[in-house]
């Protein structure tokens, strides 16, 4: 009788704790659900991304261990690899197989779907031609050429181009600018005309500062180029005044080197314009300022465009 009673007690207590397994699975699912709901409720994208990456790292590590141990359905483990980032960006992660787009080649990602700048003509070939055209000016120290990665620099001495304190180009300046024009006119590279001065204070009724003088001189050379047929859309003016010296302004030679106008050609060029009506006449050219003869050596009489006259002194800088 006692043996039968013990057997009945043993059979009743068997598997009485199995509900804990189902309960634990249920609580795990509920925890994951509330974690996802909390992540969705986060307003800041950065915090959401941090949480997402952390959870992905934890579950991915667990899944890899699960797969390496040979566990899972039929002992094959679970699929843990996802679409590679490159494929995700290009093709997405749709369930249905989509038609793939063009394949990106190695090293070409920087040129894909980006509008590239238009490159002008090679600067080294222009340098050779300018060296031949300006050989006399280079020998006399009135011009200098420099080529770097982005610019071809043509330095022209202000003493050759202008009188002291003036922005009216000399006849010699017009001749030199024409030599430069013959080389740079057939190409489409951008042009920057830059004016520089020394640090000597300028005092006359035309220019209040070296800023204005540098810009006026650059403008004068740009107008010369424009009148000789250079496309205006290629050009721009820059004035540096006394604040970008190349040499020491404490000496006369240094100040002379700092008084200059630079014609800089960029490696980039003006993109070709399609559909432009070239039959339209060009705009009327602006007449340059011309210095008139004067009996008084202390003053200058300058004829302005459209008939005006300006009288100024010949004060030195």
Q: Per-residue pLDDT tens for 182-228?
A: 999 999 999 999 999 999 988 788 898 999 999 999 999 999 999 99
Question: Does residue 238 register a pLDDT over 90?
Answer: yes
pLDDT category of residue 285 using cuts at 50, 70 and 90: low
pLDDT at 50: 67
Instruction: Answer for the pair 317, 202: CB distance below 8 angstroms, yes or no.
Output: yes
CATH number belonging to domain 123-271: 3.30.1330.60
Question: Does residue 112 register a pLDDT over 50?
Answer: no
pLDDT at 18: 76
pLDDT at 98: 46
Average pLDDT in the chain: 76
Write b or e for each residue in 58-93: b if 16 or more Cβ atoms lie within 10 A of its Cβ, otherwise e: eeeeeeeeebeeeeeeeeebeeeeeeeeeeeeeeee
* Cα-Cα-Cα-Cα dihedral sign, residues 267, 268, 270, 274: positive
Residue carrying the six token digits 């060029």: 269
Distance CA 218, CA 261 (A): 6
Question: Does residue 149 register a pLDDT over 80?
Answer: yes
Question: Does residue 79 register a pLDDT over 50?
Answer: no
Where do the domains of the chain lie?
A: 22-81, 123-271
Distance CA 184, CA 122 (A): 11
Question: Does residue 118 register a pLDDT over 90?
Answer: no
**Do β-strands 189-196 and 260-269 pair in parallel, antiparallel, or remain unpaired?**
antiparallel
**Strand blocks (E) in the chain:** 143-147, 151-157, 189-196, 235-241, 260-269, 290-292, 299-303, 309-313
Burial class (CB in 10 A: 0-12, 13-18, 19+), 187: middle
Question: Does residue 53 register a pLDDT over 60?
Answer: yes
Beta carbons within 10 angstroms of residue 150's beta carbon: 11
Q: What is the residue-wise DSSP string for 220-233?
A: HHHHHHHHTT--GG
Closest CA to 198 of 246, 249, 252, 155: 249
Helix, strand, or coil (residue 261)? strand
pLDDT at 232: 93
Instruction: Answer for the pair 238, 210: CB distance below 8 angstroms, yes or no.
Output: no
Question: Does residue 144 register a pLDDT over 90?
Answer: yes
pLDDT category of residue 8 using cuts at 50, 70 and 90: low
Helix, strand, or coil (residue 7)? helix
Closest CA to 180 of 201, 155, 203: 155
Helix, strand, or coil (residue 80)? coil
Closest CA to 227 of 160, 280, 174, 302: 174
In the chain, the percentage of residues whose pLDDT exceeds 90 is: 41
pLDDT at 34: 86
């Amino acid at each position: 009788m006692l043996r039968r009673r013990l057997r009945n007690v043993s059979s009743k207590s068997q598997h009485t704790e199995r509900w804990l397994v189902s309960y634990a699975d249920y609580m795990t699912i509920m925890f994951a659900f509330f974690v996802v709901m909390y992540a969705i409720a986060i307003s800041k994208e950065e915090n959401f991304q941090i949480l997402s990456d952390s959870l992905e790292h934890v579950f991915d590590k667990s899944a890899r261990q699960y797969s390496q141990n040979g566990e899972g359905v039929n002992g094959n483990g679970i699929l843990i690899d996802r679409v590679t980032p490159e494929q995700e960006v290009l093709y997405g992660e749709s369930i249905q197989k989509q038609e793939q787009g063009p394949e990106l080649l190695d090293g070409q990602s920087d040129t894909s779907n980006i509008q590239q700048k238009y490159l002008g003509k090679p600067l080294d070939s222009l340098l050779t031609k300018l060296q031949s055209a300006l050989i006399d000016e280079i020998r006399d120290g009135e011009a200098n050429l420099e080529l770097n990665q982005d610019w071809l620099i043509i330095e022209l001495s202000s003493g050759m181009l202008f009188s002291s304190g003036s922005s009216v180009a000399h006849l010699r300046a017009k001749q030199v600018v024409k030599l430069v024009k013959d080389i740079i006119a057939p190409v489409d590279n951008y042009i920057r005309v830059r004016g520089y001065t020394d640090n000597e204070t300028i005092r006359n009724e035309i220019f209040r500062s070296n800023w204005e003088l540098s810009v006026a001189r650059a403008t004068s050379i740009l107008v010369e180029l424009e009148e000789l047929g250079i496309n205006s859309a290629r050009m721009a003016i820059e004035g540096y005044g006394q604040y970008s010296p190349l040499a020491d302004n404490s000496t006369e030679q240094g100040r002379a080197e700092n008084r200059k106008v630079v014609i800089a050609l960029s490696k980039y060029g003006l993109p070709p314009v399609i559909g432009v009506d070239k039959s339209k006449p060009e705009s009327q050219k602006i007449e340059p300022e011309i210095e008139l003869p004067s009996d008084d050596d202390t003053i200058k009489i300058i004829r302005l465009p459209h008939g005006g006259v300006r009288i100024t002194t010949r004060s030195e800088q």
